[in-house]
Structure formats: structure tokens, C-alpha cells
Amino acid sequence: MKFTKTLLATTALTVAAGAATAQDMTVVSWGGAYSKSQLKAYHEPYSAKTGINIINDDSSAEAVAKLRAMNEAGNITWDLVDVEAADAIRLCDEGLAIEIDHDAMLAAAPDGTGASADFGSSIVSSCFIPQIVFSTTVGYRTDMVGAEAPTSICALFDLDKYPGKRSLNKRPLANVEWALLCDGVAKEDIYDVLATPEGQDRALAKLDTIKDQVVWWTAGADTPQLLADGEVVMGSTYNGRLFSAIAEQNQPIGMLWDAQMLDFDGWIVPAGLPEDRQKMVMDYLFFATDTQRLADQAAYISYGPARESSAPLVGNHADLGIAMAPHMPTDPANATNVFVTQYEFWADYRDDIDAKFQAWLAK
Amino acid sequence: MTDTSAHQPMIDATGVPLKKSLARSLRREKIRALLLVSPLLLFVLLTFIFPIGSMLFRSVENDIVSNVLPRTVVELQNWDAKSGELPDEAVFAAFVADFVVAVEEKNHTRLGSRLNYESSGMSSLFRKSGRKVAEWNPETDGPFKDKLIAADKNWGNVETWAIIQTHSGKFTNGYFLNAVDMQRTPNGIEMQPENKQILIKLFLRTVKMSLIITGMCILLGYPVAWILANLPNRSANMLMILVLLPFWTSLLVRTSAWKVMLQNQGVINDVLVWLGMVADDARLEIINNQFGTIVAMTHILLPFMILPMYSVMQTIPPSYLRAAKSLGATNWTAFWRVYFPQSVPGIGAGSILVFILAIGYYITPEIVGGTDGVFISNRIAYHISSSLNWGLAAALGAILLAVVLVLYWAYDKIVGIDNVKLG
Amino acid sequence: MALVTPISRKPLSLVLPVVGAMGAFLGLFVGTSAGSGMTGVIAGAAIVMVLAFIYTQVLKSEPLAKWISRLGMAAAGFVFGGVPGLILGFLFGWLTAWFTFWMYEGRYRRHLLPYLTSGQVLWHYAFRVICGAIFVFLITPILVVMPLSFNAQDFFTFTPEMLRLDPDGYSLKHYADFFGLRSDSNGEWLRSFWNSLLIAPIATILSVSLGTLAAIGLSQSHVPAKRAIMAILISPMIVPLIISATGMFFFYSSMGNWMEDTLGLNKDLVGYIKVVLAHAVLGIPFVIITVTATLVGFDRSLTRAAANMGADPVTTFFRVQMPLILPGVISGGLFAFITSFDEVVVVMFIGSASQKTLPWQMFLGLREQISPTILAVATILVALSIALLITLEMLRRRSERLRGMSPS
């Protein structure tokens, strides 16, 4: 069994190097610039304060499936997971995340407002601890849209005025809402219309008018790349990606805030953690989701803090030194016309509309 | 031969009857072979076949409904969904009794998600009702029929109960039906509405595209393998580097490279426009469609075709071709009647590798496939990692597996799996 | 082939059109960069045909004609395009003269069999061109990646600066990121690279040793349920990866639990074992298929002869059987290695943060932040494998020489 020995010996060597620390906490997130912002704003100060070593696991995209599998196998290796609000609801429904008493477990605002009031409507599920507000919105090539830059979301559907390709998410979310809005449905009626089969057909029919001109993206990094290549004149993506392409990469790109789809991203604590680990996680969360910490994160990435009390504390970009507040989706100037994702609706209709959407795509 | 020897069994050197001795040695040989195979067989069975089997088993498993609502399921057996009338109070009472327990164990939302695959709205119905029903006492608070309907009017809907009844069995063929664009309804098995039919189409497309990709690989791989096998060793080895380099390069990198090459403002279009072969406003659409997928996947899988072909062709003596020609065969006849038949095992091995690998791909089609280049694996991945509908994913996977096994079997019948030669 | 076909001069009626076609092809590129492709084609064909005529009929001296051609074209290139023009012109001049005399003297037949007809000669070269085109298809995407890895921007785009060969358009920052030298890089790339280099070889050794053993067992003449066993062993290649990943997750989680709780092993060590085992399973079909294929042609009497002479089964295996089936084992191992080294779906499920492999990191790089670092990695790996393959080839040639074999 020579090779077994070699295997054990080699692995033991590598492991010995990293196994010295007393307490580790595995935090799962998305990777890339977003994880970096969390590292700077939350992890580093927390580790400095407590000595707990935080391990970053960039698995959020697989989090839902992996958490379910871990739960069934009875081996939870993650301590804290960063997920989108819709996934938090799903995980909560599946019993894979623990319920949180926000007021009791999280820090109050500096003025004493309880956490749940401070977070407000961003607490979309009892398992969800909001962290940031992000939005899905539209960016465009300033040098390809002609003299008149688009100001309305309906520019997406206006092939006469803005000819050329556009990139859209390969999922129905945001696309169908925009389609109905630009098809003349009043904003407050959209989800009522979308709940009916006729309404769903109507949204797809509107999207059908631009289908030939659409490049469908699956990863958040796609649209900025397509815009930088000049492959598309405009496309939807997350506002932080657009900020990065515009301000950090100096690309000839502009962005719309009209009809941005607001969405939340935050933490869930996996169900079934041992007592001591859960306690450690809650201590971290108390620290990492307080008013100052959430505001700090905005210095590294242009997503808005989920606490109302954090907004005034948002400062400047860590490298570029520009004020970040005007780049937040929640900034009053940007938030004149917003959609807030209807999570209940999507929890019910996601599978149904997605099936129809995919069938329509394949047509 | 004498009379006695005809009746006496033949014996071997040690005096044991030969037949017995042979049987023993055969048995020993069998045991030795099995001993050699068994470590790996056990390893694969334990770490792969068994886990995959239990994963695929989810495609028929459906015990969540009867586990969470045991009393309701029993009571519902007496109810006829086609009557158009709501179930009676007994069902409602059983349901509330089950539901209170379920809420306590936080199972009700899980069940809601399960039933939401069948009918949109069940998820929020279960979630919202959970909060209200949790307060009730099943012993004392009855009757529940009106109370439950008051809590949420959907409980007064015959459809809701019909769906619970239809999907209450411990095992279901529902996922397999969904996988072929059909569904279980209270009225029996029906096709999905036309605007949700996609999976059969994707299956056919996956098989068709995989066949095209295999064909392209044969077409492009054959000349390359031939020239590698027929050049002097030195030049062949240098050219082999050109085959191995893409093989060593990460799949993700090659896919991204094809994106850079094929897109509208990409390298190929830029060169064609520069040469004046294509107008600037009529650039070729060669990505985000089937063409792009075929090109990229052919490139990625080509080494898997070339290497086995090459190793087979290396064993074909070139003198055969010369002999055929000197006997008067034309170039074509000599190739087609003499050389080609000997190279078939290589084509077979390469094809089976390429086809099987192609049929299960999903990262490349996801990145360069656009809308009409996606494969069935993309949907499997979606149902595993996003919608959590693992039953459907398992059913799709099982069907895909069956398709491959049928083709594998056919290949074995036609060419023989022993003829597979890889390197 | 030792025989040299006698060669003879070819008539101008054959030489001039062929040479002209080459001139037209070169002219297309020169003409396009100067503004008109069509003019370039015509002018190129005409100029090269005239030059060929002069070289062969007027100058008649090959060395002289060749130098005139190289220097003349280089000078013309310098006048029109400066230093790049000079280099291109020299190359074009060299090519024109070489090709002209190659055609004119009939040298293209030298390495061919003497009895081939013109049609066969044409097919011979056409076939080479086709194969060349396929090799170009194979290699171009990799060549495209290399310059992009020096991009000064964070996108996969050939910027105008890059196309102008402006040094500002290029930078080494993505390489610095890979080696963890940039202020904002976190060493994840190198860490995942080492992880891959640790996991892939161990998984390969595991699948090669078990796979070879099983293949030898399978090649015996009396194996019960051979087909079923074969199908089981090949199945990891057939099941869609995402299904395998989820299915194996359950098994490895409970195995991990057991190893941590009962055996008291370190969590990271268990993580590595899980990924290694999962990758080993995925590599097994390749080993089985290659090794069984080599064993089909294996002469069983050799093992019997060895046994006859008193070798025990282990000695027989390592001294007789193994050397003969080694090529199959090696190529099976190669496939198995690549399977592990390039695998992203299973490792994302089975592995945890500390087992992050290179493909996993690349996948994140594509999804979460566009970063040409993955192209830098690819370029480094390509350079490494070229070096490796060339070293192997050199060693092979050396051993051939040492054994006194003539280069074949």
C-alpha cells in the first residue's frame, strides 16, 4: 500500500501548514470583488478583534443545492452563507436555515431603533439577515447610442431609436416586469397581470419583438464584458458591475436607474449547526451587520447598505476617493422609479414562468 | 482404444479426473480474475454506482406528501376529485391535525415547495397558512372546513385538494412524465401546455448536436490522425504537440477563447471585415447559436477523437496500401477497401468517447450556446442548483443515462467494446 | 524512405500560374492593409509572376536570384512600411524565391515515390494543406489567448492600443495577480494551482493502479459477467457530471463524517481525500478503456513463459506484462490526469474552500469578476507543457541515439 502512504504523507504535509489556528469560521460568499468588500469591511476587523480565523468559501452560486445536500447528509460544514433574498426564502421554506429574531440577535441602530425597524422591508424572510441592496439595471455604450442617450427602461425595446444587440438575463426575473411595463401595464398592476397565463404570454410577446437582437447572459460578469467589446449597445446587469466598468475601468459606458429592480442580498445561518458554532456565528453577525460595518462595505463596492441608519455614513471609495452615496441604488436621486422584487410572487411562480420562458427561448 | 479406457474417466498427472481438474483450474482462473477486478469494482460500486443509484431513485420517490400529511392522505382516498365538490369535514380535520404537527416540525413549507412544482401558488399557500393554523388546536377548535377556507380562500378550491390527492402516492411517475413534457393531473396523464413543452425538444437537440459534433470530429480528426501515423516519428511527435496543447488547456479557457474568436466584434469577424470579405454592418452571426456550440465543442473534443484513431492507424502497416495499389487498385479503392476498414476500431473508440462526453456537456453550451445551442444538461443543472427540483433532475438524468446505455449497447453489438482502442 | 526521386525542371506553363496564385494570396494581405484588397491580389500575382520569370529565365543563377529577391523586397517593404515592412518584405522575398525554384526545379517531387501521377502529387500537397488548416483550427484559440493575457485592461478584448502595438496597451499585471504580487491579489490563484497539482497526480495514481489491475483481470479469458462489470466501470464517464456531483456528495459527506468523528482525522485532510477519491473514480473509465485495448493484443504465452521459468506472478507482472502495456497505461493516466486537472463541477460540490482547485478558481474568475488572470494562467500552463513535451521528445531522441537506432 505504498501509494496510500504517499497519499497520506503528502496530504498531511499540506494540511499541517494550515491547521494551526484555534477557531475557524467558514463564510460562504460569491467571490470576486464582492467577497473582497466583505473581507475588508467585516472579516478583517472582526478577526483583529476576536482572533477568529475566517475562511472564505466562494460557493454562493451553489449554496442552495449544497446546503440541501449537507442537511440531508447531516454534515454542515458552513457556518454562514451569503445568498440572494429569493434563495433565502427557498432555504427557509426547506427548513435549511434557522429563523432569526432580528431585534434580539442584531445590533440596534445608533439612535436606538431596533434592528427590524432599521432593516425595514428588506427582511423578506424570517431567516434572512439583510446586508446590501443591489439592483438589476441597464448599462449602455455611450458611443453607440447616438446623440440622445436613453433615459427610460423602454429603450431596451426601442429597436428603431437604439438599433443593435442588447444583453438580458437568461432568467425571467426583471425581463418580464420590464416587458409588461413597456407594453403599457401600470406599474402597480404588473404582478397581478403576471399571475395570469395571459399576462405571462403578453410579457413574452413583448420580449419576442426584440428576441433576435438579444444576447442572453448567465453570469453577472457577462454584460460588462459584452459592453466593453462593443458586442451590445445596452444590457442589463447588477449596478455594482456597471459602476466598476465605468468608474474603475473607465469604459465608455453609461447607466440607467429607471425602473431598476431592487433586490437584497444577505446572510442566512444554516440549520443544524452545533450550539457553539451557532453562537460564534451570531456573535459575528451582531458585529458585521451593525450600522457602521454596513456603511463601510460601500467603500469597496457600490451596493447600498440594507440599514436605513447606514445611509448617511456611506463615505468615499477606498481606492478612487469618489463619494459613493450617489452610486447607491437607494440614493434618492436614483430611486425615483424602482421596482422592489416581489419575493412571494416569485416563490410561487418562479418554476412556472421559468419553464415557459425557457420554452419560449428554445422556440 | 480398449473397452475399459472408454469407461474410465481421463485423469491428470496427480490422479484427479481431468474433467474435475480442468473445472477446478477454470474456477481458480475465474476467482483470480475476479480478485483482480474486485478492488476497483468495489470502489466504483461503493463510491459511485450506489450514490448515483440513490440519487436517481429520487426520480420516483415521493414520500414527502404521505409523511407530512399521513391522516389527510388516508381520508382523501374516499374523495372523488371529479365530483367537483370539496372534500368533507373529516378531510379538513385530518388536514389541520397533520398541518399543526408539520408546522411544528417546519415541514409544511417543504411540502409547499414540492407541490409548487405541480401548481404555482402552493408554496405561498402553505407558508401563509402555516402562520395561522399554528395557533389552532386540532382537538378543540373544530369544525375546520369554513375556518380553513376563511384563512385562505384557496383551501376552498377543489383544485388544491385534487393536487394533494394526485400526488399523495409514495412513489410517483410524475417526474418522469414531466421529463417528457407530460404531467399528472387529477384527470389522468396529459401533455404539458404547449408553451411549457421544452424537454423533449432539448433531448432531441442534445442527441442531434452530439451526433453532428461526433461527425465533425471524425471528419477533422481522420486526416490529422492519418498524417500523424504516416509521417516519420520526429515530425509526427512535433505535430502531436499541436494536438496535445489544446488538450492540456483548460476547457474554460478554450471556451472563452472561442468567445473572443467568434463574437460579432471578434477576431474572425474583424479579419473578414478587414479583408473586405464581409461588410462591416453584416458581420457573421457565429456565436450564441448552434454553429458556435458545434465549433467550440468540436475543438474541445477533437483530441479525444484524434488520439484513439492515431493509435489504431499506427498499427496498420503502410505496405498493405502499396500492395493493394500494385495489384491494380485505384487510390480510392485501396483506401476504402483496405485501409479504412482497419481504422474502424479507432473511429469507433473516438466516436463513443466524443459522443458520450458531448451529450453530458453543459458549461460550453451555457457560455457559447445562446438560446438554440443549450443542451439537456443545462436544465439538469438548473433543477439541481436553482429550482431544487431534484426529482425532475434525476428523471432527466436517468433518461439521458438510458439513451447513452442504449447507444453503448448498440455500439457493442456493431463494433464490440473490446475493439475500443484509446491510446 | 531512402530513395530519392530523380527530379527535372518544370515548364513555365506550370510554374507561373502556381507561383502567381501564391503572389495573389500574399498580395491580398498587403493590398488590404494598403486600402484595396482586390488591387493587391492582381498586383501581387502580376509582380510575382514577372519576378519568377526573371529569376528563372534571365538571372538563371539561383543563389543570386534568391538574394536579389530577399533584399529587393526588403527594400521595397522599408520604403512603404518602415521597419515592420522591412521584415515582412524580407520574408516575402525569401518565400517568393524559394517557392519559385522549388516549383521550377521540380523539387516538390523529391521526397515522393517516383511513380506518382501529377494528380497524386497534387493530392499529396492538397492533403497537407487540409491537415495544416485543421492544425490551425486546433491551435488558433490558444494563440489568441496569449496576447490577451498581457492586456492592460480587465477585459477579454483586443483594445485599439494593443492592435497598434502600443506598449501602454500591454501589462504584466495579470501575471502579477497569479503570482500574488499585486496589492489586491489574495494568493488564491497560486493556492488553487498547488491544490490542483496535489490532487490530480494522486487521483491519477489511484485510478491508474486500480484500473490497470482491473483491466488485467478483465482481460482473462473466463470472467463471469464481463460485460456488466465493464459497463459498471465505465459508468462514471457516462453519467452527466452534475448528477454524479450531487450523488457523490451524499456518499462523501457521510464518509467525511465518519473519518472525522471515528478516525479523528483532520478536516482538511478529509477534504482532500474526498476530492481525490471522487476524481479517481472519474478517471477510471479512461484507464480501463485504454489498458484493456492494449491487452487485447497482448500475447498471453509470454506470462506463461515467465511463470515457466520460475518467476512469481508479481515479478511476471512488473518485468514482463507491465513494460508491454505501459504505453496504454501512460495514455490512460494522461486522460485521467486531465480529467482531474480540468474538472470543475464535482470539485465544487465535494470540495470545500481549502480544496479549491485551479478550474474552480477559473470558473469564479469567469463568473464573478472578469479577469484575464485566467488567460495568464492558461499561457503559463501552455508554456510549461510545451517545455515538458519538448523535453520528453529530446529525451526520446537521445535514448534512440544511445541505443544506436537510426532516427525513424
Chain B residues within an 8 Å CB radius of C249: 51
Evaluate if residue C138 carries a pLDDT over 90: yes
Q: How far is CA B192 from CA B61, B184, C84, in A?
A: 21, 9, 65
The predicted-structure confidence for A289-311, as pLDDT tens digits, reads as follows 999 999 999 999 999 999 999 99
CA distance A250 to A253: 8
Q: How far is CA C334 from CA A269, B349, C207, C277, in A?
A: 42, 17, 11, 17
CA distance A61 to A67: 11
Q: How confident is the model at residue C310 (pLDDT cuts 50, 70, 90)?
A: confident
For C257-266, the CB contacts below 8 A with 24+ separation are C257/A73, C257/A74, C257/A75, C266/A15, C266/A19
Render A97-131 in DSSP notation, one character per residue: B----HHHHSPPPTT---HHHHHGGG--STT-EEE
CA distance B106 to B98: 12
* Contact call for A348 and B120, based on CB within 8 A: yes
The minimum CA-CA distance between A94 and chain B, rounded to whole Å, is 5
pLDDT at residue B11, as a whole number:
79
Grid cell digits, residue B384: 439541481
Task: Tell me which residue in A94, A354, A361 faces B113 most closely, judged by beta carbons.
Answer: A94
Where in the sequence is the domain holding B94, given as residue range(s)? 64-168
Best C238, C274, C348, C349 member to test B by mutation, with max B CBs in 10 Å, is C238
Best B110, B119, B127 member to test A by mutation, with max A CBs in 10 Å, is B127
Q: How confident is the model at residue A174 (pLDDT cuts 50, 70, 90)?
A: very high
Q: How confident is the model at residue C211 (pLDDT cuts 50, 70, 90)?
A: very high
Q: Which chains, if any, share at least 3 CB pairs under 8 A with chain C?
A: A, B
Chain C residues within an 8 Å CB radius of B256: 145, 156, 366, 374-375
Identify the bridge partners of residue A26 per DSSP, sorted by sequence position.
A55
Q: Is residue B179 part of a domain?
A: no
C298 CB burial (10 A radius; 0-12, 13-18, 19+)? middle
CA distance C374 to C149: 8
* Contact call for B123 and A215, based on CB within 8 A: no
* Contact call for B360 and C240, based on CB within 8 A: yes
pLDDT at residue B84, as a whole number:
84
Which residue type sits at C115?
A: Y
Best A2, A7, A134, A253 member to test C by mutation, with max C CBs in 10 Å, is A7
- Average pLDDT for residues C383-400, to the nearest whole number? 82
Q: Quick one: B277 and B382 in the same domain?
A: yes
Evaluate if residue A207 carries a pLDDT over 80: yes
**Better-scored residue on pLDDT, C5 or B53:** B53
**Which sequence spans correspond to the domains of chain C?**
12-115, 116-185+377-383, 188-371
CATH number at residue A58: 3.40.190.10
Q: Do residues C40 and C28 make contact, with C-beta atoms less than 8 angstroms apart?
A: yes
pLDDT at residue B409, as a whole number:
81
Q: How confident is the model at residue A20 (pLDDT cuts 50, 70, 90)?
A: very low
Q: Quick one: B161 and B260 in the same domain?
A: no
How many A×C Cβ pairs under 8 Å? 116
Q: Quick one: B249 and B377 in the same domain?
A: yes
The predicted-structure confidence for B368-399, as pLDDT tens digits, reads as follows 888 888 899 889 988 988 888 999 999 999 99
Q: Is residue B405 part of a domain?
A: yes
End-to-end CA distance of chain A: 56
C327 CB burial (10 A radius; 0-12, 13-18, 19+)? middle
Q: What is the count of structural domains for chain A?
A: 2
**Better-scored residue on pLDDT, C22 or C242:** C22
Render A50-98 in DSSP notation, one character per residue: H-PEEEEE--GGGHHHHHHHHHHHT----SEEEEEHHHHHHHHHTT-B-
* Contact call for B121 and A95, based on CB within 8 A: no
Q: Quick one: B19 and B116 in the same domain?
A: no
Evaluate if residue A142 carries a pLDDT over 70: yes
Q: Quick one: A234 and A152 in the same domain?
A: yes
Q: Quick one: A308 and A353 in the same domain?
A: no
Q: Do residues B251 and B336 make contact, with C-beta atoms less than 8 angstroms apart?
A: no
The CATH code of the domain at C188-371 is: 1.10.3720.10
Q: Which residue of C has its CA nearest to A9?
A: C269
* Phi, psi (rounded to 5 degrees) for B419: -85, 0
Tell me which residue has cell 497534387.
C122
pLDDT at residue B415, as a whole number:
67
Q: Quick one: A251 and A345 in the same domain?
A: yes
The predicted-structure confidence for C248-273, as pLDDT tens digits, reads as follows 988 888 888 888 888 888 888 999 99
Task: Tell me which residue in A26, A220, A228 faces C157 most closely, judged by beta carbons.
Answer: A228
The minimum CA-CA distance between A163 and chain C, rounded to whole Å, is 22
The angle that helices B122-133 and B89-104 make with each other, rounded to 10 degrees, is 80
Q: Report CA torsion sign: B337, B339, B345, B346.
A: negative
DSSP summary character for residue B86: P
CA distance A4 to A171: 46
Q: Which residue of C has its CA nearest to A34?
A: C368
Evaluate if residue A50 carries a pLDDT over 50: yes
Q: Is residue A12 part of a domain?
A: no
pLDDT at residue C403, as a whole number:
66
Which residue type sits at C175?
A: Y
CA distance A331 to A324: 10
A286's enclosing H/E stretch is helix A275-288
pLDDT at residue C114, as a whole number:
81
The minimum CA-CA distance between B106 and chain A, rounded to whole Å, is 6
Cis link prior to B303 (omega < 30° from 0)?
Answer: no
Residue A5 sits at the chain C interface (C-beta within 8 Å):
no
Q: Quick one: B374 and B236 in the same domain?
A: yes
Q: Do residues C21 and C125 make contact, with C-beta atoms less than 8 angstroms apart?
A: no
pLDDT at residue C4, as a whole number:
62
Evaluate if residue B6 carries a pLDDT over 70: no
Mean pLDDT of chain A: 90
Evaluate if residue C208 carries a pLDDT over 70: yes
Residue C114 sits at the chain B interface (C-beta within 8 Å):
no
Of B146, B168, B190, which closes a domain? B168
The predicted-structure confidence for A88-125, as pLDDT tens digits, reads as follows 998 998 899 999 999 999 999 999 999 999 999 999 99
Q: Do residues A329 and A303 make contact, with C-beta atoms less than 8 angstroms apart?
A: yes
pLDDT at residue B420, as a whole number:
55
CA distance B381 to C242: 6
DSSP summary character for residue C355: G
Evaluate if residue A12 carries a pLDDT over 70: no
Q: Is residue A5 part of a domain?
A: no
Q: Quick one: B358 and B268 in the same domain?
A: yes
Q: Is residue A11 part of a domain?
A: no
The contact set of B with A (CB < 8 A) is 106-107, 109-110, 112-113, 116-117, 120-124, 127, 195-198, 201-202, 263-266, 288, 366-367, 370-372, 374, 379, 382, 384-390
The minimum CA-CA distance between C231 and chain A, rounded to whole Å, is 27
Q: Quick one: A28 and A89 in the same domain?
A: yes
pLDDT at residue C300, as a whole number:
75
Mean pLDDT of chain B: 87
Mean pLDDT of chain C: 86
Q: Quick one: B249 and B305 in the same domain?
A: yes
Q: Which chains, if any, share at least 3 CB pairs under 8 A with chain B?
A: A, C
pLDDT at residue A19, as a whole number:
40
Report the SS3 class of residue C151. strand
Grid cell digits, residue C1: 524512405
CA distance C30 to C24: 10
pLDDT at residue C183, as a whole number:
78
The predicted-structure confidence for B332-343, as pLDDT tens digits, reads as follows 999 999 999 888
Evaluate if residue A4 carries a pLDDT over 90: no
B416 CB burial (10 A radius; 0-12, 13-18, 19+)? exposed
- Average pLDDT for residues A17-39, to the nearest whole number? 78
* Predicted ipTM beyond 0.85: yes
Q: How confident is the model at residue A261 (pLDDT cuts 50, 70, 90)?
A: very high
Q: Quick one: B231 and B130 in the same domain?
A: no
Q: Which residue of C has its CA nearest to B29?
A: C222
Chain B residues within an 8 Å CB radius of A86: none
* Contact call for A62 and C209, based on CB within 8 A: no
* Contact call for B232 and C381, based on CB within 8 A: no
The minimum CA-CA distance between B367 and chain A, rounded to whole Å, is 8
Best B105, B114, B116 member to test A by mutation, with max A CBs in 10 Å, is B116
Buried b (16+ CB within 10 A) or exposed e, A209-246: ebeebbbbbebbbbbbbbbbbbbbbbbbbbbbbbbbbb
Render C64-128 in DSSP notation, one character per residue: HHHHHHHHHHHHHHHHHHHHHHHHHHHHHHHHHHHHHHHHHTTGGGTTS-TT--HHHHHHHHHHH
Q: Which residue of C has its CA nearest to B413?
A: C227
Q: What angle do CA B348, B349, B351 make, to 5 degrees?
A: 65
A333 CB burial (10 A radius; 0-12, 13-18, 19+)? exposed
Residue C115 sits at the chain B interface (C-beta within 8 Å):
no
For B122-125, the CB contacts below 8 A with 24+ separation are B122/A348, B122/B160, B122/B163, B123/A93, B123/A347, B123/A348, B124/A344, B124/A347, B124/A348, B125/B152, B125/B154, B125/B155, B125/B160
Buried b (16+ CB within 10 A) or exposed e, B15-42: eeeeeebeeeeeeeeeeebbebbbebbe
Q: Do residues C307 and C316 make contact, with C-beta atoms less than 8 angstroms apart?
A: yes
Task: Tell me which residue in A61, A204, A231 faces B264 most closely, judged by beta carbons.
Answer: A231
- Average pLDDT for residues B154-169, to the nearest whole number? 91
DSSP summary character for residue A325: G
Q: Please choose, from the candidates B155, B218, B206, the residue with its C-alpha nearest in 3D space to the C-alpha of residue B179.
A: B206
* Contact call for C342 and B401, based on CB within 8 A: no
Where in the sequence is the domain holding A63, given as residue range(s)? 23-133+264-327
Q: Quick one: B142 and B87 in the same domain?
A: yes
Q: Do residues A115 and A107 make contact, with C-beta atoms less than 8 angstroms apart?
A: yes
Evaluate if residue C407 carries a pLDDT over 60: no
pLDDT at residue A23, as a whole number:
83
Q: Is residue B184 part of a domain?
A: no
Grid cell digits, residue B320: 498493405
Q: Report CA torsion sign: B1, B4, B6, B12.
A: negative
Q: What is the count of structural domains for chain B?
A: 3
Q: Quick one: B9 and B69 in the same domain?
A: no
Q: Quick one: A227 and A346 in the same domain?
A: yes
Q: Quick one: B242 and B372 in the same domain?
A: yes
Task: Tell me which residue in B33, B253, B349 faces C217 most closely, judged by beta carbons.
Answer: B33
Q: Quick one: A176 and A308 in the same domain?
A: no
The minimum CA-CA distance between C292 and chain A, rounded to whole Å, is 23
Q: Quick one: A246 and A293 in the same domain?
A: no
Evaluate if residue B349 carries a pLDDT over 90: no
**Better-scored residue on pLDDT, A72 or C195:** C195
Q: How confident is the model at residue B177 (pLDDT cuts 50, 70, 90)?
A: very high
Q: Quick one: B370 and B286 in the same domain?
A: yes
Q: Please choose, from the candidates A56, A51, A52, A2, the residue with its C-alpha nearest in 3D space to the C-alpha of residue A26.
A: A56
Q: Is residue A13 part of a domain?
A: no
Best C144, C151, C153, C155 member to test A by mutation, with max A CBs in 10 Å, is C155
Tell me which residue has cell 446590501.
A132
pLDDT at residue C136, as a whole number:
95
Q: What angle do CA C176, C177, C183 make, to 5 degrees?
A: 90
Chain A residues within an 8 Å CB radius of C349: 62, 65-66, 69
Evaluate if residue B364 carries a pLDDT over 80: yes
* Contact call for B107 and A95, based on CB within 8 A: yes
Q: Is residue B14 part of a domain?
A: yes
Q: Quick one: A129 and A268 in the same domain?
A: yes
Q: Quick one: A275 and A303 in the same domain?
A: yes
The predicted-structure confidence for B52-90, as pLDDT tens digits, reads as follows 998 899 999 999 999 999 999 999 998 988 888 899 899
CA distance C289 to B261: 34
C-alpha atoms less than 13 angstroms from C-alpha of C69 in its C-beta half-sphere: 28
Residue A229 sits at the chain C interface (C-beta within 8 Å):
yes
Q: Is residue A2 part of a domain?
A: no
pLDDT at residue B34, as a whole number:
87
Percent over 70 (pLDDT), chain A? 94
